[in-house]
Structure 1
Amino acid sequence: MDQVRDALTSAPVVHADESGLRVAGKLHWVHVATTGKHTLVWAHPRRGRAGIDAGQVMASMAGIAVRDAWAPYDIYTPAAHQLCCAHLLRELTAAGERVPGAVWPGQAADALLRLKTAADTARAHAASGIDPDLLAEQTGLFRQAALVAVKDHQHEKSKTGRKLTALGRRMRDRIDDCLRFAVDLRSPFDNNAR
């Protein structure tokens, strides 16, 4: 176990996630930290910091943590964070369905996918990065979509309005963590280890 933990904490990229599980009729959480080669799985009654800390990985790692936007992961530094863009694309699709005619969800999703294609191509050709003009253009479009989301929904009192505002704020405030995959080619687009 210690060797697996050492491999994870020293890895350049670690995928982290958690999922619910029933243990003796009570909700527990299965946590996972993986590089694809090394995987640690543990169960804990808590989903948050206590459960994450039980794995003894996140607090010690210095690489990139690829994970969803769940807030308890935010405290773990000096690890850099890559928010899972597969999760983000699902949220953007749902936003487009909740607000038919809204342009910002599609604009943000298109920017993510264009950057993903550019990053995948750069990796395939062993390039050091993607075209800086494309990066600047698509980052600008993503940022603009986030700003529009906040502006359009921040005064809505409905649950949907609050969710859309929170999504826009996360995209705006965590843009580096959303788009790390396009700047640091070690970082994958999503937290699905391969």
Structure 2
Amino acid sequence: MGKNFLMAGFGGQGVLLMGELLAKAALLENKGVSWLPAYGPEMRGGTANCAVVIEEEGEVVSPLVFEPEVLVAFNKPSYLKFLPKTVPGGIVIVNSDLVDVKLSGPVRQVFLPANQACLELGSMKAVNIYLLGALIALTSVVKAETILGVLKEVFGPKGVYPLNEKAFWRGYDDAGKRANHVETVN
């Protein structure tokens, strides 16, 4: 049985790239995978989300994700829109720097200060990679080493792999520390 992921935020936050990196890592691990982007007409600042479906064995039946098992909410509008659609018992990873509310629901919510962590690392451009690290820590859907290989392939030629590697591990570690303090808000 597969796992459904939805990443959502504003255009320009790296939402689609995050999903693409996850999908590439799943392919490298010989899993069935689909990546389906959706975005508003604006180039930056509009809405953006992508659905990733990963099947441990076999092919993906449908790339559509109406009820994600894992939601990554980059901002408040995405959190408000998609948290109610997340399956009961699902995981919601929230950028707490841009989400100042907590909705109720039978889901595990992990609030992480992604913007602040990336500012400390030196670049806000790594927020998506920080959240990707958190997603891997909380789901183990692919191996961290596989994601790091994909990051090196994508960011190595641009000279920004070291920053993205640090952001990944920071998100991974921060999520791991909070995994035992996950909020189920009913």
Give TM-score scaled by structure 1 length.
Answer: 0.29
Structure with the bigger percentage of helix: 1
Give TM-score scaled by structure 2 length.
Answer: 0.30
Q: Which has the larger radius of gyration?
A: 1
